[in-house]
Structure 1
Amino acid sequence: MWQSIYQQLNDVLGKEQAWSAPQPVGGSQQHFHLSGNAHHLFIKLASRKERDRLEAEYRALQILNTTPCPQSPQPLMVGSSGKRSFIAMQYIDLVHHGDWAQLGAAIAKFHASQAQRQYGWQEDNFIGPTPQKNAWHNNWAMFFAEQRVGFMLQLLKERGVEFADIQTVVSNVHKLLSGHQPAASPLHGDLWSGNVGFYQQQAFWFDPAFYFGDRETDIAMAELFGGFPPAFFSGYNQQWPLTESYQWRKPVYQLYHLLNHCLLFGDSYHSATTLIIDNLQ
């Protein structure tokens, strides 16, 4: 497999590289660091049938790279070898300590750039391994209720997990968000602390679940699982303050990610999810 990957990388780079043996990153057997003559690459492996997920990540990274900060790894290519597919991108030796206020301000600037008239994106993509629907929509409440919460509830139902009647929850989410028509901001989409880092005083983010929507959804995710210090939120609010009404919407924005975690990791997230759904009634 690796010899095929080396050859594909050489073809894209246009020069033969003497690649070192792949080094696992973070103890994972899916993530590797490759060193060549003049290149350091991060390789993420997946099954061959998951190639479309990696291609969506490649295109999302291209979007993130249109702004100078936060920076993102430069994507190089997506390929396949045998039963596996892979994405290759710039390798960056990130740390988790840096200027969090700068990161917060940079994300606020990103949210304020490239705003669209509609919510969604040009294609469906993924949040982690989970499919994410992005059909363009003019109404934010309907988009989020149906394509975020409703779709995730349907995926869970197909796995035999039901929290409540899907249409009832969708209707309640729609009511809560009704009348809220925010700017359709470019979003990271999966902004937890494991998807950000620092290198040489510069802020980076990666693993996007990109679409255009309410900027508050990124901040709600950042608050959900911790890991972001107060300086991050201070830096964000100094650049583009959140309104007081955000606190009313935050739980329903977090519901989407909790539902995804129920799908991926099971029962440990059920109580928090049920609490939000019950409070929607």
Structure 2
Amino acid sequence: MLVDESWYEELDLGKIEDVQTVSGGDINLAFRVIADTGEYFLKVQPDNNESFFDHEVESLNLINSVANAPKVIRSGTFRDNSYLILNYIHFGTGSQYDLGQLVAKMHQRHSLRFGLGHDVLNASNPKINTWRANWGDFYIQQRLNVLINEVQKKGLWNGQRDKMMRRFEEKLMEYYQVHPIIPSLMHGDLWNGNVGFEQNRQPILFDPDVFFGNREMDIAMTLLFGGFGKEFYQGYQELYPLDKDWQKRVSWYQTYYLLAHLNLFGETYGADFDNILKQSVEN
């Protein structure tokens, strides 16, 4: 699909000088739009309407209320294509310490309950975001069990996994009955491909999937695939220290992310998932 001159009036970005195809992930088509008013990042989802981007718009706006993410210009529908316009980011380098502090600032935005008030069902890993008062209830019922159901449909679940998961969930319920958590604004997919630095060295967060949850879940994701230096955790801890023994609970949340990868990519991630689930039961 081409974004040609027929799009220019719809985009309403002034005089458009050039539109270039850029990499934008597996899900959307992506373009750099150069206009006399500035440079913009355009995402397009064919055969859909603007509601496709509603959650991303909400996520970016929530993060920008306390931290730094691409700015939403506008979203809409044109010729059965949904689109989202963001400001274009020119990348530079920056400090991992500053990045840690940025994530801590995001986590310092709180809510009275866990969730978001509406579900995200147009994703490969669906999210149920009904508001709940207890983190254990939310994490088990609206994250783990939702994905277990998806994995079962694909024939990737078995008796041993089920037995271990039930033991893990019992442990979670017992722990969070007596260790209440303050809900934090979560990025939701905080791996090193979704963070960066602008040319002025300011850290920035990309492609969020927000909800209000336990911030240890975001931190566990940063430790799953690497790419975050020790200065990141120093910056984070100085601004918003994690609860005692948080390292022991890292596997509790990596279990979710590896279950998500099992759902997306199949048994390639089966052994990793089994290992982290075993750690979660034993830790």
- Smaller-chain TM-score bracket: 0.7 to 0.9
The question of whether the paired residues in 2 share the 8 Å contact of 1:150 and 1:170 is answered with no
Distance 1:236 1:31 in 2: 32
Is contact 2:24-2:43 (8 Å) kept?
no
- Would you say the 8 A contact 1:18–1:36 is kept in 2? yes
* Counterpart for residue 84 of structure 1: 81
Task: Tell me the distance in 2 between the aligned counterparts of 1:78 and 1:148.
Answer: 28
Offset at residue 174 of structure 1 (A): 2.9
Alignment match, 1:110: 106
* Identity score, percent: 30
The CA deviation at 1:160 is: 2.4
Contact 2:116 2:130 in 1 (8 A): yes
Q: Matched residues in 2 for 1:86 and 1:230: separation?
A: 38
Deviations along 1:216-264, one digit per CA (max 9) or x if unpaired, are 1111111111011111011111112223321232111111111112222
Which one is further off, 54-63 or 22-31?
22-31
User: For this pair of structures, how many residues does the alignment match?
Assistant: 273
- Worse-superposed segment, 37-46 or 194-203: 37-46
* Deviation (angstroms), 1:280: 4.5
Q: Is the 8 A contact 1:45 1:87 kept in 2?
A: yes
Match of 2:254 in 1: 254
Q: Which amino acid aligns with 1:86?
A: Y
Q: Unaligned regions of 5+ residues in structure 1, if any? A: none
From 3, 15, 18, the counterpart of 2:16? 18
Identify the match of residue 151 of structure 2 among 131, 152, 156: 156
Partner of 1:8: 10
Q: What residue number does 1:73 align with?
A: 70
Task: Map Cα deviations across residues 170-205 of structure 1 (whole Å, 9 max, x no partner).
Answer: 445434544232111111111111111101111100
One-letter code of the match for 1:219?
I
Task: Note the alpha carbon deviations across 1:37-81, whole angstroms, 9 max, x for none.
Answer: 1121111222434754421101111111112x3x11111222233
Aligned partner of residue 161 in structure 1, secondary structure: coil
Tell me the equivalent position of 1:57: 56
- C-alpha separation in 2, matches of 1:158 and 1:47: 27
Residues 17 and 36 in structure 2, CA contact (< 8 A), matched pair in contact too: yes
Distance 1:81 1:58 in 2: 17
Is the partner of 2:258 in helix, strand or coil? helix
Amino acid across the alignment from 1:21: V
TM-score, normalising length from structure 2? 0.87
> Counterpart in 1 of 2:238?
238
Cα distance in 1 for partners of 2:210, 2:25 equals: 26
TM-score, with structure 1 as normaliser: 0.87
Identify if the C-alpha distance between structure 1 residues 280 and 238 changes in structure 2 by more than 3 Å, giving closer, same or farther. closer
What letter matches 1:271 in structure 2? A
Change in Cα spacing, 1:273 to 1:56, as seen in structure 2 (3 Å) is same
Question: Aligned partners of 2:9, 2:156: CA distance in 1, in Å?
Answer: 44
The separation in 1 between residues aligned to 2:43 and 2:179, in whole angstroms, is: 38
- Match of residue 132 from structure 1: 127
Q: RMSD of aligned C-alpha atoms?
A: 2.4
3-state SS of the aligned residue for 1:263? helix
